[in-house]
Amino acid sequence: MKVWYLQNHSGRTGKFFFSEAAYLKATNSRDTRKVFILEMIDGGVPSNEFSQALFLNRERENQLSTIFGEVDEFTKNFSEFKKIFEELCPDTTAFWTSKKELSKNFKIINDKKSFKSYVSQLRVKKFLLLHVSDSVEWFESILKCHGFQSLPVDKIPHKDIRVKNFFKAKENIKKSK
């Protein structure tokens, strides 16, 4: 099935046509508007099945590229981060964020730019840096993906061990580079 989307001259809106005849009736030879042709290649699949298939396909591609050594540094560090996150993160809610929400969003994220914009949100940043774990391993895994400069400020004072381990992880990453 094909769908034609004819954009208006302003480019902000447009109209959908579900048959070629309807599209051709709406245009003429002097028409300069843009048309986008959408073709359904695998229709009738429930949305949840389609999204699960996309997630599995992306994960499979990441695993294959890791095996063949074609993966970039961020993807390698991000897959390690997700694995550690699943192991260490408690199943509770804090800072209006939960493990379930973050896990879902981490499945969607596939590049450094989108990861950076997501973890820069204050509630996510606080959850990751203050709630998940205080271990050096945790801080190293997250700092390899995004270079946080410091721990976020919260009403509850920081534990000395958390601050110590955060800066130790930063130091370890600097040494490894």
In a domain, 54, yes or no: no
The pLDDT of residue 102 is: 93
Full residue range of the structural domain in which residue 152 is found: 72-176
* Helix and strand numbers, DSSP H then E, in the chain: 8, 5
Whether residue 18 is contained in a domain is answered as yes
For residue 41, the model assigns a pLDDT of: 72
Both 20 and 81 in one domain: the answer is no
The token pair that represents 95 in the structure block? 């800072």
Query: From first to last of its 177 residues, what are the pLDDT tens digits of the chain?
Result: 788 899 988 888 999 999 888 888 888 888 888 999 988 776 666 777 777 888 888 888 878 887 887 778 888 899 899 999 999 999 988 888 899 999 989 988 888 999 999 999 999 999 999 999 999 999 999 999 999 999 888 777 778 899 999 999 999 999 887
What is residue 159's predicted lDDT score, i.e. its pLDDT?
Answer: 82
Which secondary-structure segment (H or E) carries 161?
helix 160-176
Give residue 146's pLDDT.
93
pLDDT at 12: 87
Based on the domain organization, do 28 and 114 belong to the same domain?
no
- Whether residue 47 lies inside any domain: the answer is no
pLDDT at 43: 66
5 membership: H or E segment, kind and range: strand 2-7
Residue 111: per-residue pLDDT: 86
Q: Please give the Cα distance from 175 to 173 (Å, whole number).
A: 5
Whether 59 is in a domain gets the answer: no
Residue 48 in domain: no
**Whether 8 and 76 share a structural domain:** no
Number of domains in the chain: 2
